[in-house]
Chain A
């Protein structure tokens, strides 16, 4: 049973470009969470999605960031017009049912570097 798959593992973008981060949850998991970890800091919640719905986006910056989890395919975190401050590790987690009755399982992240 494959774990949560994130790709790419490393992504380099120039300032002003777009970054697309993909997350394939574990098989049978319909709940997806995105977290961001800035260098030398802890993980911060960004957004919680179920299939085709955003449940909680209280941690998402209001501009340039968006997330989706379509009926088919992976969840996508999209960052438009990236800036140097967006450089971070972005982690995705999934669960089969409602958290916290079911634990979240994390992927190994995408490390975004903005040059």
Chain B
């Protein structure tokens, strides 16, 4: 699986958009980009995933650059409840694929 690089921490004001970057310069054509978050002491929560195209759901948007070497997770209107550790994970397709969590970005949403 391709390695990812994320900032260690970020701050965002409540109500503003939170843009979380992720670099995955060694990604291959059949690797998905996945985003999860973990709020303290809870299980990881699935946010969104994509292969090549940009994706949007009720939680967030995922913007993948044309060369697929980086992506951005966008939370359009951050709230205090979005404070969490956000993980960007690249996963190769295969019969025994699994998530491998790194250190993620600690997002702090402030008043």
Contacts and interface: CB of A to CB of B under 8 A. Distances in A.
B67 to A, nearest CB: 20
Contact of A101 (B41, B93, B101, B103): B93
B101 A42 contact: yes
B44 A43 contact: yes
Interface string B84-111: 0000000111011111111110000000
A103 B46 contact: yes
Contacts of A69: none
Instruction: Classify the interface of chain A: helix, strand, loop or mixed.
Output: strand
B43 A99 contact: no
B95 A107 contact: no
Contact of B43 (A42, A45, A48, A107): A107
A89 to B, nearest CB: 8
B4 to A, nearest CB: 13
Given A42-B103, A100-B49, A103-B34, A55 B43 contact: no
A48 B96 contact: yes
A55 B46 contact: no
Given A99-B99, A103-B49, A106-B44, 12 more contacts: A35-B101, A44-B101, A45-B98, A56-B96, A56-B98, A91-B44, A93-B43, A100-B34, A100-B92, A103-B34, A104-B99, A108-B42
The 5 closest A-B pairs by CB, nearest first: A106-B43, A100-B91, A100-B32, A56-B96, A43-B101
